Amino acid sequence: MEKYQQLEEALAAGKPVDELLAEVQDAAEEADLEFLRDEIPTAIEQSIEGSERVAKIVRAMKEFSHPGTEEKTNVDINHELESTLTVSRNEWKYVAELVTDFDLALPQIPCFVGEFNQALLNLIVNAAHAMKFRQEAENSTQRGTLTVSTRQVDEFVEIRVADTGTGIPESARSKIFDPFFTTKPVGKGTGQGLAITYNLIVVKHHGKLDVVNLPIKGCKFSASFPCRRPAEGSEELDFHVPETGDSDLEAKTTLQNTEVLPR
């Protein structure tokens, strides 16, 4: 650029430019201007895309970490899921392909946003951990599939989180929601995850959760939240842990968690 400026000044002053022109041509060859003309637009476009991705992550983290309120507010379930998937991307991107199927006609539902988002995060990260455990068990780098979908079922909005991980061991089915029970190695889990999760969804949000093993491999959690606010006074519930003695694999439970722990 400096050589071009000098050439322009020399031409304007009527000075000889032969030597300067040769220097400009040499500089142009060294700089490979044709390459730069081709590559700079692509580089700028990639920089803009990268900036947009960073901005999206920052917005998602800001929304996710927004302090909760003592009152329920109406939220867009699909939007909250998108934010949670963005925040948790590092957990699942190495172990799973993401598939989403959102019902765009869903109504907004009343919930405690912070605790609701924590519940979604718990479901997603638990699914990612299950697929990571399967990779390790099979000594494989093949990624599984994380499927997240939403739909309305009668007076509830249902969120489904399905994975192709290890599934729920037969020996753990009757204890999976017990306090202090965990399938993680000693020192890596407290066993409080699903018990607390139950409290958040069932007790605090009057929701429910179904969990089933999938035919091939993995499992699916279906968390349901009521579309309407419960009657006044009905939210005054005591925390309790669900009975899990039923041998039926499709025993209904409700899941959410302030701590991400495996199944």
Residue spans per domain, the chain: 71-226
- Output the CA angle 248-249-252, nearest 5 degrees: 85
What is this structure's pTM? 0.66
Token readout for 245 is 């003695």
The CATH code for residues 71-226 is 3.30.565.10
Q: Model confidence over 238-258: pLDDT tens digits?
A: 334 444 433 333 333 333 333
d(CA 196, CA 179): 8
Enumerate residues 6+ apart whose C-beta is below 8 A from 162: 127, 145, 146, 147, 148, 149, 214, 218, 219, 220, 221
The whole-number pLDDT of residue 200 equals: 77
Average pLDDT, the chain: 74
What are the DSSP E strand ranges found in 59-177? 73-75, 96-101, 109-111, 144-153, 156-162
Query: Which strand ranges, in their side-by-side order, compose the sheet holding 96-101?
Result: 96-101, 144-153, 156-162, 219-226, 208-213
**Chain CA centroid to CA 63, Å:** 13
